[in-house]
Structure 1
Amino acid sequence: MYSTLARIFVLFLLLTISLAVQADKTDVVYLQNGDRITGEVESLFRSKLEFKTDHMGTVHIEWEDIREIISTTGQAVELTSGQRLYGPLTKPENIDILVVKTDTGPVGVKTDDVYRMYPVEAGFWDRLDLTARLGFSWDKGSNVGKYNIGADAVYRRAESLSRADFSTEITTVDARGNKGEEDFSSSTRRTILGGNHLVYKQDKRFLVYFGTLEQNDELGVDLRVLAGAGYGYIPIRSQSNWLSLAAGLNINREYPGEGDPETNLEATGMLTYEYYKYDTPERSFKVNLMLFPSITDFGRFRTTFNTDFRIEIVEDFFWKLDIYLTYDSDPLSLDGASSDYGFTSSVAYKF
């Protein structure tokens, strides 16, 4: 009797799981060439739809190749204007139109105006993008070696965007002394751990909270701990371009290599520009500029500038080039330089 009940329970459980799996794949994509694909919308970002199917796995479809999407599951749709719509996707009357069935009724939007989309019930891992990178260079003539490793993460929600980035670069020098002199070696390190959290507001406005941990031997900074907040505006947000401007305040504690630690209050200005192109090969370009005029130490001025260029080699593998510049008009460390600049080349993998 117990074995019969066990079989019935197992059959019931398998039937329930089978129905649940089938129920998930209820979204339909109609392509411009007339093909139809059934599956599940994972996300749409920067003109590329990530669509999960039973037989082909997860496929990526260019937005321009899609004629219409129908989805019975609730979707969060973010427009280039900053407006957000929530609801299932119904069949449109015209091509190049996405119809969102909101609580107040159906709303039609042009596909060119859709910036991002994903299921309302999307899980943590569906909203997270992770990238790891590794680079190395060495010159025999000068015996100079450079090693750099890093990782970055982006977590997206309808109402916010969170970023975290870690990078460290070690430069080693092994030199032979002249006759009668000893050989010597030295190394310098530059390490940054940073993050920011954007909370979207109406009319392309946002609040931003940011922080960094920084160590830089060239500037004579053993450790700088910084935390701040600001308010910003996004004048450009399209499927291929993003421009944001923000201003705020930060407080930081700096521990120099030579000298006493100091706490500073600074004004903060931020500019971020991003460009994406998903045509083969996929590529992106990002510029980040931050200005820090000191309030407690009037006359002192710091700035950081960096660029990030990536081009896809094969699927999910990228070649990455970073250019950076850091400037401090009045470094605290007695032996610290006022500027540090350079570039790093690495290979990155996107999870």
Structure 2
Amino acid sequence: MSSGIALARLMFVVLGLVFIATASLRARPQSDVLIMRNGDRLTCEIKRLERGVLYASFDYVDGTVSINWAKVARVESRQLFIVQAEDGSVYEGALRTEEAPGKAPVRIEVLHPAQPARVFEQGRVVELHQTAESFWKRVSGNFDSGLIYTKGNDTTQYNLGVGLRLRRERWNGEVGFNSTLSKTAGVSASTRNESWVQAERLVGRKRWFYAGAARFLESAQQGINLQTTLGGGAGRYVKDSNSARFSVLAGLAYQKTQYEPASGSQNPPNAMAGLFAGNLQLFRFKKTALELSASALPVLTEAGRVRTYVNSSYSIQIVANLWFKISFYGNWDNRPPATFSGSDYGTSSNVSWTFH
């Protein structure tokens, strides 16, 4: 079985999980209460809070409504939520707002039957996610697709991306797949397929965490049939607020690279490497989101060799869960096999649909 077929099968597995997850989502009773700073009282179902935006659904509105979290004066819900504060601490519980005189800061209480109540100023609460006993109700994800055709040189580029995320109080996991196919008349098609599985667990109640990941890459441009990377390490959220998130990680990784037979590569297929990674996210209310991930792997078993990977995206909200996304991907190897490229990079534009 070729690596391309194996990666394609993994893509269909992830797609199947996306459809199962979306089919399993059922709305709960709309009994949550929001009171806005202008005095409006809203009865709704709170979906989540992220990037400074509170998402809620209403009986009389089709779809999900985006609400500026800073404009909310009071929130009440018996639903259990995973609540993440700006200092990195994470708790689970129902929501209630403390009585506050005058213009005192809004203070949110997180109530759990088996734990003491926790109180946070509203501005320090950066994420809310519904939690439930059902596995599928804890799942969120995205589906991206794009197609570009250029008549001048008869070039077609197709992009497909799928992601699923599972979040619990102390840990979260993700599985995903990205595929790019570019074909020009009279030239062999160029493909790039990448899939990954990763998990992260918080240490203590603050911003430290440890993480592990498995990534699989196929790059026709670099003559890579399959590159397997298994890595892990410790990291920290340097900043985590309603407008920005920045994390760093350091650890070790094992890589196995299978090149095309024609490359005549004399490079050792197995390598141990250091792992240094960072992730930056910037967002504005109901407008845009920017994400940049970068990692460098200095190969310990081949001094002087470094492999670098970059992924970034800039998203503009169209409506509700529908976004327009411009993405960039790239990976570089400063010592590739002779006659083969040491880089593969490109851009794409997609329409992205998210679900929670």
TM-score, normalised by the number of residues in structure 2: 0.82
Distance change (3 Å), C-alpha of 1:224 and 1:49: same
Distance 2:58 2:148 in 1: 42
Mapping for residues 51-62 of structure 1, pairs under 5 Å: 51-56=56-61, 58-62=64-68
Partner AA of 2:158 in structure 1: Y
Q: Does residue 71 in structure 1 map to residue 77 in structure 2?
A: yes
Deviation at residue 25 of structure 1 after TM alignment? 4.3
Distance change (3 Å), C-alpha of 1:120 and 1:346: closer
Over alpha carbons, which structure has the higher Rg? 1
Mapping for residues 127-206 of structure 1, pairs under 5 Å: 127-174=138-185, 184-202=186-204, 203-206=206-209
Q: Does residue 47 in structure 1 map to residue 47 in structure 2?
A: no
Distance 1:41 1:121 in 2: 14
Q: Does residue 346 in structure 1 map to residue 350 in structure 2?
A: yes
Whether the 8 Å CA contact 1:29–1:37 is kept in 2: the answer is yes
Deviation at residue 30 of structure 1 after TM alignment? 1.3
Distance 2:94 2:310 in 1: 42
Deviation at residue 319 of structure 1 after TM alignment? 1.6
Residue aligned with 2:301, SS: coil
Distance 1:272 1:172 in 2: 31
Q: Which runs of 4+ in 1 moved over 6 A?
A: none
Q: Does residue 124 in structure 1 map to residue 138 in structure 2?
A: no
Partner AA of 1:318 in structure 2: W
Please list the CA deviations of residues 216-268 of structure 1 after superposition, one character each: whole Å capped at 9, or x if unmatched: 11111111111111110111001121101001111121111123671111111
Distance change (3 Å), C-alpha of 1:253 and 1:41: same
Please list the CA deviations of residues 46-71 of structure 1 after superposition, one character each: whole Å capped at 9, or x if unmatched: 22223344444654322122111122
Deviation at residue 132 of structure 1 after TM alignment? 1.6
Q: Which residue of 1 aligns with 2:110?
A: 100
RMSD: 2.4
Please list the CA deviations of residues 131-162 of structure 1 after superposition, one character each: whole Å capped at 9, or x if unmatched: 22222223333233222222222322221222
Q: Which residue of 2 aligns with 1:256?
A: 259
Distance 2:190 2:339 in 1: 14
Equivalent residue for 2:279, pick from 272, 281, 293:
272
Distance 1:208 1:52 in 2: 34
Q: Which has the higher contact order (CA 8 A, sep 6+)?
A: 2
Distance 2:44 2:152 in 1: 57
Whether the 8 Å CA contact 2:82–2:168 is kept in 1: the answer is no
Distance 2:94 2:150 in 1: 58
Distance 1:81 1:137 in 2: 43
Distance 1:170 1:119 in 2: 37
Percent identity between matched residues is: 23
Which stretch of the first structure deviates more once superposed, 249-258 or 103-112?
A: 103-112
Please list the CA deviations of residues 90-112 of structure 1 after superposition, one character each: whole Å capped at 9, or x if unmatched: 34121521123455654431100
Mapping for residues 233-244 of structure 1, pairs under 5 Å: 233-244=236-247
Deviation at residue 278 of structure 1 after TM alignment? 2.4
Which stretch of the first structure deviates more once superposed, 85-94 or 150-159?
A: 85-94
Whether the 8 Å CA contact 1:220–1:335 is kept in 2: the answer is no
Q: Which residue of 2 aligns with 1:8?
A: none
Please list the CA deviations of residues 163-216 of structure 1 after superposition, one character each: whole Å capped at 9, or x if unmatched: 233111122121xxxxxxxxx432111111123211111330111111111111
Please list the CA deviations of residues 69-92 of structure 1 after superposition, one character each: whole Å capped at 9, or x if unmatched: 122344432101012233333341
Equivalent residue for 2:94, pick from 88, 97, 103:
88
